[in-house]
Amino acid sequence: MVEADGVRAYGDIEGVDLYRRLLLTVPVSAADAYVVDLFRVQGGQTHDWLLHGSGDDDMTATCDIDLPGRRETMLEAGEEWVEPRDEQSQFNVWGVLRDMASGAADGAVTTTFTYLDEPAKGVRAHVTADGPMDVFLGKSLSPRRAGNDTQKAFGYWMPQLVLRRQGEGPLRSCFAAVEEPFDGKPFIDKVERVELTPADEGAVALRITHGNTVDTIISTMDEAPYPERSTADGVRLQGRLGVLRTVDGVPAGGWLFEGEALSADGWSIETEISAYTGRIADDVRVADGGAYDAFVTDGELPLGRVLSGVWMIVTHGNGYTHGYEIERIEQVDGKRHIVVTYDHGLQIEGSTTKEFYFPQRTIEGVNAFRVPLASAVTRGD
């Protein structure tokens, strides 16, 4: 949720210049893994980051900072709560965030969600931000457990975390969270925000320590030709995303996504192509009588199934983006057909794009695409 120009809005947010989220799953062992959740937003004066507990089982939540304040709901001054009577009722959703304890964090906070009947199981969320933030921890409705019986909708609740940054607009924030599921005992020892040189508002680096293993994760919004950004301990990235794992101080693996190089002392990954890019000239749909669902481009892409399972990102003329999984690349009448795994739901005619599915917009402008590529090196390669 972003409050832009004093108006709460969802989805297509007016007054917001930047709205990007990156989710990355990082395996630790056969049993353990964690999720890196990067949420970048620019615009307005208030940025909120929310995380709730299980929608299926009773949970409780605790925080590693003091929460001396109290709010009955998250409604703001002048906002009124109207009790909904059925599924068609209109109501302010911030009124169902209740019994919120509140406090302040200086850029980092850890919240632990545990199951009420199995307290040794749960999720820890380590969240860092660009600066001070307000922390709210309480409860919100858990309607899934009520099923189709709307009379029971207020009978189920789940823990709810809200992190809020406020400042003069256009405010810019990056909430960087590491979400750690555990069974028996948490396995992450420390999560740190790491400085990058040269610094950039769109670039963030994290150091995650678990046992004798340290993962350094660098994420940027850089475009080619990529500048080199480095940490004080010598991890260097030219690209959008890099992950370096060291064990006992020795590089054990590296993963580079849409980039030219990832390196540390005595170790490196380098690529010739970080991504395939181009413009979409036309579309093919099974629903319209085509042999498959595809985008048509003049761009150069490898034929066959070389890119099978890789996702392409389409940027529409209004700046909105969608992702599509590639099945294969075919050549028809001198053009490349990017065959995707499901109906893309678009009709592209010249510079006009129509959506067949919700929200069924008509979008003017050229559709560009990007197919990010990944490389990996592990110890012994």
Cross-strand partners of 328: 339
351, 317 contact by CB (below 8 A): yes
Tell me how far the alpha carbon of residue 10 is from its chain's centroid. 16
Q: Provide the residue count of the chain.
A: 381
Structure tokens at 198: 């040269």
Indicate the residue type of 116. L
* Residue 312 CB coordination number (10 Å): 24
* Residue 230 CB coordination number (10 Å): 18
Rounded CA separation 205/241 (Å):
10
Structure tokens at 241: 């995303």
pLDDT, position 242: 97
pLDDT tens column, 114-130: 999 999 999 999 999 99
Indicate the residue type of 291. A
Q: Is the peptide bond before 198 cis (omega within 30 degrees of 0)?
A: yes
Rounded CA separation 296/279 (Å):
9
Rg, the chain, Cα only:
23
Beta strands 346-349 and 267-270, pairing class: unpaired
> DSSP letters along 107-127, please?
SEEEEEEEESS-TTEEEEEEE
Rounded CA separation 125/193 (Å):
14
> DSSP letters along 151-167, please?
GGGGG-EEEEEEEEEE-
- Mention every residue, 6+ apart, whose C-beta is less than 8 A from residue 342: 293, 324, 325
Domains of the chain in sequence order:
1-186 (no CATH), 189-272 (no CATH), 275-372 (2.40.30)
The per-type count for the chain, helices as H runs and strands as E runs, is: 0, 30
Q: What element of type H or E holds 374?
A: strand 374-378
pLDDT tens column, 176-197: 999 999 999 999 999 999 999 9
Residue 96, classed as helix, strand or coil, is: helix
Q: Look at residues 336, 335, 309 and name the one whose alpha carbon lies nearest to residue 323.
A: 309
67, 138 contact by CB (below 8 A): no
- Mention every residue, 6+ apart, whose C-beta is less than 8 A from residue 81: 73, 75, 91, 92, 95
pLDDT, position 4: 35
pLDDT, position 21: 83
Largest pairwise CA distance in the chain: 68
Q: Look at residues 97, 139, 131 and name the one whose alpha carbon lies nearest to residue 8.
A: 97
Cross-strand partners of 8: 3
pLDDT string in tens for the chain (381-residue length)? 333 333 343 344 455 666 788 889 999 988 899 999 999 999 889 999 999 999 999 999 999 999 999 999 999 999 989 888 777 778 898 999 999 999 999 999 999 999 999 999 999 999 999 999 999 999 999 988 888 887 788 899 999 999 999 999 889 999 999 999 999 999 999 999 999 999 998 899 999 999 999 999 999 999 989 999 999 999 999 999 999 999 999 999 999 999 999 999 889 999 999 999 999 999 999 999 999 999 999 999 999 999 999 999 999 999 889 999 999 999 999 999 999 999 999 999 999 999 999 999 999 999 999 999 999 988 755
pLDDT, position 54: 95
pTM of the model: 0.89
